[in-house]
Amino acid sequence: MIDPFDTLNEAERLLSKLPQDLADRIVLIGGQALLLWAEHYLIDQLTGLQSESLSSDDLDLMGRRPEVIECARIWGGEYRIPEMDDHSPQSGIVFLNNKGTIEDSEAVDFLPTVYGLTPKEVHAHSDKMRFGENEVVVKVMSPPLCLKSRIENLNGLHYGEEKAQREILRITSATSIIYHWLIDFCNNTEDHRPVAKAVTYIMDNILLSPSSIKICAKYSIDLSCSFPLRPVDLCCTYFTQQYIGSHIIENASDTILA
């Protein structure tokens, strides 16, 4: 089986070529964003099925038409912008011209937003990462955004059984990633406010959202395992008692508290 993490090499190569002012205007989204976090947190823990579900050859970026045109120029590719009567969700596509013909070339999709999320939400809650020897800083959808996106996909896109099961595996991976991401967050900051902001976002916009409640009931998914309550409690006890306590501590299992 092809190692899904191999596909990140091409993403790093392309993103590292961008000038910083252009990189500041795009966000790495979609399967490659989730794959990047899985490589960081889960590479030694994934089951075969989870690894297969994370495989993604597509590179999706959130950006507008000017970014499509500029990236095509820098990457030496060709771009296509949807016509006025084209209802495609893309801002545009960049074909990399690396397979001999446009039809066979790898493509980078640019989207104006992410399904189920607003552009403002994506920019506000994304994390920044450095790519390549040039250390180009690019925003990447954070683990909470990846989870919310997958939940909205499963709830709203009316998948068939096979696609639904694949998305459930991605959701399971995303919850595990968030667990480790929050522990890192707590261990690497003395200021509880960013942690409180992240936890508030996860609670209000993900775990307690109508979409989450629907898919958890329909597919018997447990999203509560994304919360390492003890590290969060140690980091900002007052916030935990005042906010999380009223929502989930009363029903928390020993597994969550581990």
Which of 34-48, 140-154, 238-252 has the weakest average pLDDT? 238-252
Whether 140 has a pLDDT exceeding 70, the answer reads yes
Residues 46-86 pLDDT 10s: 777 777 778 777 789 999 999 999 999 999 999 999 987 77
Whether 235 has a pLDDT exceeding 50, the answer reads yes
Give the β-pairing of 59-62 and 27-29.
Answer: antiparallel
Model pLDDT, residue 239: 57
Give the Cα separation of 221 and 205 in Å (integer). 17
Q: What is the mean pLDDT of residues 122-138?
A: 95
Q: Please tell me the pTM assigned to this model.
A: 0.86
Burial of 230 (0-12, 13-18, 19+ CB in 10 A): middle
Residues 176-215 pLDDT 10s: 999 999 999 888 877 778 888 888 899 889 998 999 999 9
- Of the pLDDT bands very low, low, confident and very high (cuts 50, 70, 90), residue 257 is very low
Residue type, 62: M
Q: What is the mean pLDDT of residues 101-119?
A: 85
